[in-house]
Chains A and B, each alone.
Chain A
Amino acid sequence: MSTATSTIQEFANREYRHGFVTEIEADTLPPGLNEDVIRAISEKKNEPKFLLEWRLKAYRHWTKMKEPKWANVHYPPVDFNAISYYSAPKPKKRLNSLTEVDPELLATYEKLGISLEEQKRLSGVAVDAVFDSVSVATTFKDKLAEMGIIFCSFSEAVQKHPDLVQQYLGSVVPPTDNFYAALNSAVFSDGSFCYIPRGVRCPMELSTYFRINAANTGQFERTLIIAEEDSYVSYLEGCTAPMRDENQLHAAVVELIAAGDNAQIKYSTVQNWYPGDKEGRGGIYNFVTKRGACRGRRSKISWTQVETGSAITWKYPSCILQGDESIGEFYSVALTTNYQQADTGTKMIHIGKNTRSTIVSKGISAGHGQNTYRGLVKIMKGAANARNYSQCDSLLLGDKCGAHTFPYLEVRNASAKVEHEATTSKIGEDQIFYCRQRGISVEDAIGLIVNGFCKEVFRELPMEFAVEAQKLLGVSLEGSVG
């Protein structure tokens, strides 16, 4: 067996680093889903009436929907009645400073290397940590509030800014959009809310860490980001989950609204959820709906994602380019190893004139991983001079994995230009040979090449995340990667 093969196997056999369960007393609803459960969630969170009605409407619609089957992923059916739809850590009192946070919880974050304190001191990142479903601590809130920025947990926004929530909730991803979005709309427990007023450039990267902890709780969070005219915000999302044998369902909804002219939202994700063991048992089902609407002229939404975790990833961060000259971007690295499956990509819907979009997707498959890019570029009739460029590259490590590319291009305007390119290949023996000649070990060479392969995407990530993403990939590709 060659070194390259053995390092690839090593990589494929890597253990999940973040697998530990935090013993925190949780306030959990019994498993099952019906209208009473939804009422209970709503009541627990002391929600206004409109939200309960909204949830119930979504639930009623959901019951009529069927699970989508078109994605290129295979898994046993999910029993939606075996899931507990609410799990909040106790004690649940209002927290003003980190010292009030459950120390065990803080220790969990430290294990993850994302200590709130450290973050606070060093990086100037305001972290809104979502532990299971309830947001436990929000940092830098006061500082942001001075500038008029609202950055808080979703539940808090519902209490304090119901008008904004009512105005924008579901305006990009309607509750009836798809099976999992409907489910999320019915039962979402918490999430993040962010509002950037006119003319404000958010001075720091806003960040949330999601962590799924209690066993058998689906995580259904909801993120809503609104950017007004001439504003800018960069938002980071990081996800991890402890090691669990049973598959856990994660169905989140993220809505971005670049409401005013020149508004810009940059949304970055590093997803490192438990991918299941090397036999393909367990792991997170990550069925997420993410969508942004560029409503203002010259507004811009940029999605960057690094997907290394989850047993199954099913997500398509999309942009609806309504405003003239608006811009949509999608940069993605998806890594599948063992028996992981990823069906991910984007949708770029061009409605306004002179709209532009860029798609760069890098897929890496190893072990028995199956990696699919699926994307839609749609140029509507009025989108004169719309421009799209897509590039989808796949790297195959090992002969049991698969890489698939399914772009959908639809053009209804004769002045539009759409380009799509895709390549699939493995790391060239000549490339490795070249590095070896220069005294670089096979493992390092593979690391180098993979990092080079992903560079276009990594450089879109904010600094702090780029380092983490590179580390993550490095760990995954430990001593190995090729």
Chain B
Amino acid sequence: MIDLNEGKAAFLNDFERQEAFLSRFGSKGLHDLRRSALSRFEELGFPSPSEEEWRFTPLGPLTKIPFQLSPNGISQRESEVAERLQPMGIAPPDAVLLLNGRCARPLNSAGLPENACVQPLLLALSEKQEFVERHLGRYASFETHPFTALNTAFIGDGAFVYIPKNTTVTKPIFLVYWSQSSGEPTVTHPRTLIVAEESSQATIVEVFLGRPNDVYLTNAVAEVVCGPNASIDYYKIQDESKEAFHVHTLQVQQSRDSTFSSHAFAFGSVLARNEINSVLDDEGCSCTLNGLYFASGHQLIDNHTRIEHARPHCSSHELYKGILDGHGHGVFNGRIHVHPNAQKTDAKQTNMTLLLSDDAVIHSQPQLEIFADDVKCTHGATIGQLDADALFYLRTRGIGKEEARSLLTYAFANDIIQRVRVDLVRRQLEALFLHRHQPTGGRTT
């Protein structure tokens, strides 16, 4: 039996060292929140596979690594980051850019509507403390989730986005998290808060990157508050180092008639755990969760989504696709929870997985929990391989086997990619899939 709590002490020590610094930001109330989150983390410890929610995601390797909070500011030449961002059309000055969890400088806010605000969280905590604290940590519960507890304990830097009433931000807002390990394995706990007021509209792109082959842990939490009739388009692109660990929780709170859609793409990291919890807390909400992940080598990518239909007349649509190659391991756990009075709920969930190798493993659990009768809820899951007839067809046209497989894999993924409405990001994803993620046909990479 592996003792998962060996690694706990390192984080507790980190907190001790950082406490004085963290307490300078935010009110005493916020710091109390940090402290209670830390003690909750201490109680919970790292979850073991005997816990239902973590059954297929062993954290043993993660807890063995002595992660260190990285120094407050790393001297990082931005060129390396800029190079990675360039294909997506992101220039570092236009994004909130966090290097090892610390924001280098405020972004160039040209092009943002007046009153709208996109800034590093630490800055927002000094400038708009009261407003920020009205939302920060109010939605993402850390009672049962040790990683959220840990992130909450270290609430410091991150990103803050505020879209005022009746405002439309046309340009996508980019939030970029870059990690590297400079010898020692590092850890970051970036926190994001997105507040969209009534009838506002915005597109937000979160990008997680890291220096290839570095060992680090990203433990991020994002809270999104959708006001009445607000519309948020959220994208997440995770292309961390292949040795990195990535834990991300997205907590969405929706008000009346709001629309939230998320498109999550996961390619990087040796172990990734993505959680999305969406609470449809008033009538007329609409929630879309789409996802695409590709795991090869010995990667494990775990997606947990939970949609809470708390009120009547809401709809949700979810489509997650996974491609597994090599010894890749995919976990999908999608839950639709319809509360007793949430009549007229319309919920649809689909999970599709493509297995390209006999060593790949998928655990798929689409779940429906329904306590209201006048609802329309369906879920479906399929697990299969490339269509032999389609492969044959391509081959009869003189297309080589590898290329045919690659084309068909791309076709499978394309469905999700085409839903991305940020042109450059979409093109970059297309390119990634056509060129980089070619199936190895059962050979391990």
Interface, chain A (partner B; CB < 8 A): 70, 381, 394, 396-426
**CB–CB B379/A405 < 8 A:** yes
From the candidates B362, B377, B380, B385, name the one contacting A415 in the complex (CB within 8 A): B385
- In the bound complex, how far is the Cα of B52 from the Cα of A405, in angstroms? 16
8 residue pairs bridging A and B, Cβ less than 8 Å apart = A399-B340, A399-B373, A401-B371, A402-B370, A407-B364, A417-B385, A421-B378, A424-B375
Convert B377-419 into 0s and 1s, putting 1 for each residue whose CB lies closer than 8 angstroms to a CB of A. 1111111110000000000000000000000000000000000
Report A-chain residues with C-beta under 8 Å of the C-beta of B383. Answer: 409, 411, 416-419
Report B-chain residues with C-beta under 8 Å of the C-beta of A381. Answer: 358
From the candidates B52, B361, B384, B442, name the one contacting A418 in the complex (CB within 8 A): B384
Task: Tell me how far the C-beta of B92 lies from the nearest C-beta in chain A, rounded to whole angstroms.
Answer: 41
- In the bound complex, how far is the Cα of B370 from the Cα of A162, in angstroms? 49
Report A-chain residues with C-beta under 8 Å of the C-beta of B370. Answer: 394, 396, 402-404, 424
Report A-chain residues with C-beta under 8 Å of the C-beta of B382. Answer: 417-420
- In the bound complex, how far is the Cα of B338 from the Cα of A396, in angstroms? 13
- In the bound complex, how far is the Cα of B358 from the Cα of A147, in angstroms? 46
* B interface residues, tally (CB under 8 Å): 35
Q: Does B109 contact A (CB under 8 A)?
A: no
Q: Does B374 contact A (CB under 8 A)?
A: yes
**CB–CB A399/B343 < 8 A:** yes
**CB–CB B381/A414 < 8 A:** no
- Residue in chain A with minimal CB distance to B355: A414
**CB–CB A404/B367 < 8 A:** yes
From the candidates A394, A406, A422, name the one contacting B380 in the complex (CB within 8 A): A422
Q: Does B363 contact A (CB under 8 A)?
A: yes
**CB–CB B357/A421 < 8 A:** no
Task: Given contact pairs A407-B366, A409-B363, A414-B355, enumerate 16 new A-B contacts (beta carbons under 8 Å).
Answer: A397-B373, A399-B343, A399-B373, A402-B370, A409-B365, A410-B362, A411-B361, A411-B362, A411-B364, A411-B383, A418-B381, A419-B380, A419-B381, A420-B382, A421-B380, A423-B377
Q: Does B32 contact A (CB under 8 A)?
A: no
- In the bound complex, how far is the Cα of B328 from the Cα of A411, in angstroms? 12
**CB–CB B373/A407 < 8 A:** no
A414-B355, A414-B357 known; A409 and B378 CB under 8 Å?
Answer: no
Q: Does B376 contact A (CB under 8 A)?
A: yes
Report A-chain residues with C-beta under 8 Å of the C-beta of B378. Answer: 421-424
A409-B381, A412-B361, A416-B355 known; A426 and B366 CB under 8 Å?
Answer: no
Report A-chain residues with C-beta under 8 Å of the C-beta of B343. Answer: 399
- In the bound complex, how far is the Cα of B382 from the Cα of A411, in angstroms? 11
A403-B368, A408-B365, A411-B362 known; A425 and B376 CB under 8 Å?
Answer: yes
- In the bound complex, how far is the Cα of B374 from the Cα of A397, in angstroms? 9
**CB–CB A396/B384 < 8 A:** no
Q: Does B175 contact A (CB under 8 A)?
A: no
Q: Does B423 contact A (CB under 8 A)?
A: no
Q: Does B360 contact A (CB under 8 A)?
A: yes
**CB–CB A425/B367 < 8 A:** no
From the candidates A399, A402, A408, A419, name the one contacting B369 in the complex (CB within 8 A): A402
A409-B381, A410-B361, A414-B442 known; A422 and B368 CB under 8 Å?
Answer: yes
Closest 7 A/B residue pairs (Cβ): A396-B373, A418-B383, A414-B355, A409-B364, A420-B381, A405-B368, A424-B377
- Find residues 318-369 in chain B having any chain A CB closer than 8 Å to their own CB: 340, 343, 353, 355-358, 360-369
Report B-chain residues with C-beta under 8 Å of the C-beta of A408. Answer: 363-365
- In the bound complex, how far is the Cα of B353 from the Cα of A412, in angstroms? 12
Overall SS of chain A's interface: strand
From the candidates A409, A420, A426, name the one contacting B373 in the complex (CB within 8 A): A426
Report B-chain residues with C-beta under 8 Å of the C-beta of A404. Answer: 367-370
**CB–CB A402/B371 < 8 A:** yes
Q: Does B372 contact A (CB under 8 A)?
A: yes
Report B-chain residues with C-beta under 8 Å of the C-beta of A424. Answer: 368, 370, 375-378
Report B-chain residues with C-beta under 8 Å of the C-beta of A399. Answer: 340, 343, 372-374
- In the bound complex, how far is the Cα of B385 from the Cα of A278, in angstroms? 50
- In the bound complex, how far is the Cα of B334 from the Cα of A408, in angstroms? 11
Report A-chain residues with C-beta under 8 Å of the C-beta of B353. Answer: 411
Report A-chain residues with C-beta under 8 Å of the C-beta of B369. Answer: 402, 404
Report A-chain residues with C-beta under 8 Å of the C-beta of B365. Answer: 406-409
Interface, chain B (partner A; CB < 8 A): 52, 340, 343, 353, 355-358, 360-385, 442
- Residue in chain A with minimal CB distance to B380: A421
- In the bound complex, how far is the Cα of B336 from the Cα of A394, in angstroms? 15
- In the bound complex, how far is the Cα of B356 from the Cα of A91, in angstroms? 66
Report A-chain residues with C-beta under 8 Å of the C-beta of B376. Answer: 424-425
- Residue in chain B with minimal CB distance to A413: B358
Report B-chain residues with C-beta under 8 Å of the C-beta of A420. Answer: 364, 366, 379-382
Count chain A CB atoms within 10 A of each CB in B361, B363, B379, B383 and give the residue with the most: B383
- Residue in chain B with minimal CB distance to A390: B381
**CB–CB A409/B362 < 8 A:** yes
- In the bound complex, how far is the Cα of B50 from the Cα of A70, in angstroms? 11
From the candidates B356, B358, B366, B375, name the one contacting A422 in the complex (CB within 8 A): B366
- In the bound complex, how far is the Cα of B332 from the Cα of A369, in angstroms? 28
- In the bound complex, how far is the Cα of B371 from the Cα of A416, in angstroms? 34
Report B-chain residues with C-beta under 8 Å of the C-beta of A419. Answer: 380-383
Task: Tell me how far the C-beta of B170 lies from the nearest C-beta in chain A, rounded to whole angstroms.
Answer: 40
Report A-chain residues with C-beta under 8 Å of the C-beta of B442. Answer: 414
Report A-chain residues with C-beta under 8 Å of the C-beta of B366. Answer: 405, 407, 420, 422
Count chain B CB atoms within 10 A of each CB in A409, A416, A421 and give the residue with the most: A409
- In the bound complex, how far is the Cα of B366 from the Cα of A422, in angstroms? 9
**CB–CB A414/B374 < 8 A:** no
Task: Tell me how far the C-beta of B176 lies from the nearest C-beta in chain A, rounded to whole angstroms.
Answer: 35
- In the bound complex, how far is the Cα of B363 from the Cα of A407, in angstroms? 10
- In the bound complex, how far is the Cα of B357 from the Cα of A70, in angstroms? 32
Report A-chain residues with C-beta under 8 Å of the C-beta of B385. Answer: 414-415, 417
Task: Tell me how far the C-beta of B21 lies from the nearest C-beta in chain A, rounded to whole angstroms.
Answer: 43
From the candidates A415, A423, A426, name the one contacting B374 in the complex (CB within 8 A): A426
Report B-chain residues with C-beta under 8 Å of the C-beta of A409. Answer: 362-365, 381, 383
Report A-chain residues with C-beta under 8 Å of the C-beta of B340. Answer: 399-400
Task: Tell me how far the C-beta of A64 lies from the nearest C-beta in chain B, rounded to whole angstroms.
Answer: 16
Count chain A CB atoms within 10 A of each CB in B340, B361, B368, B375 and give the residue with the most: B368
- In the bound complex, how far is the Cα of B383 from the Cα of A430, in angstroms? 35
Task: Tell me how far the C-beta of B138 lies from the nearest C-beta in chain A, rounded to whole angstroms.
Answer: 29
Report B-chain residues with C-beta under 8 Å of the C-beta of A406. Answer: 365, 367
**CB–CB B360/A414 < 8 A:** yes
- In the bound complex, how far is the Cα of B371 from the Cα of A398, in angstroms? 10
- In the bound complex, how far is the Cα of B355 from the Cα of A422, in angstroms? 22
- In the bound complex, how far is the Cα of B372 from the Cα of A400, in angstroms? 7
Task: Tell me how far the C-beta of B360 lies from the nearest C-beta in chain A, rounded to whole angstroms.
Answer: 6
Count chain A CB atoms within 10 A of each CB in B52, B356, B358 and give the residue with the most: B358
- In the bound complex, how far is the Cα of B361 from the Cα of A413, in angstroms? 8
- Residue in chain A with minimal CB distance to B374: A426
Task: Tell me how far the C-beta of B266 lies from the nearest C-beta in chain A, rounded to whole angstroms.
Answer: 19
- Residue in chain A with minimal CB distance to B55: A408
- In the bound complex, how far is the Cα of B369 from the Cα of A394, in angstroms? 11
- In the bound complex, how far is the Cα of B360 from the Cα of A416, in angstroms? 12
Count chain B CB atoms within 10 A of each CB in A399, A408, A411 and give the residue with the most: A411
- In the bound complex, how far is the Cα of B402 from the Cα of A450, in angstroms? 51
Report A-chain residues with C-beta under 8 Å of the C-beta of B373. Answer: 396-399, 401, 426
- In the bound complex, how far is the Cα of B362 from the Cα of A381, in angstroms? 12
- Residue in chain B with minimal CB distance to A422: B379
Report A-chain residues with C-beta under 8 Å of the C-beta of B52. Answer: 70
- Residue in chain B with minimal CB distance to A394: B370
- In the bound complex, how far is the Cα of B376 from the Cα of A397, in angstroms? 14
**CB–CB B357/A407 < 8 A:** no
- Residue in chain B with minimal CB distance to A406: B367
- In the bound complex, how far is the Cα of B379 from the Cα of A407, in angstroms? 10
Task: Tell me how far the C-beta of A345 lies from the nearest C-beta in chain B, rounded to whole angstroms.
Answer: 12
- Residue in chain A with minimal CB distance to B384: A417
- In the bound complex, how far is the Cα of B362 from the Cα of A400, in angstroms? 35
Count chain B CB atoms within 10 A of each CB in A413, A423, A424 and give the residue with the most: A424
Report A-chain residues with C-beta under 8 Å of the C-beta of B380. Answer: 419-422
- In the bound complex, how far is the Cα of B382 from the Cα of A424, in angstroms? 18
- In the bound complex, how far is the Cα of B351 from the Cα of A421, in angstroms? 10
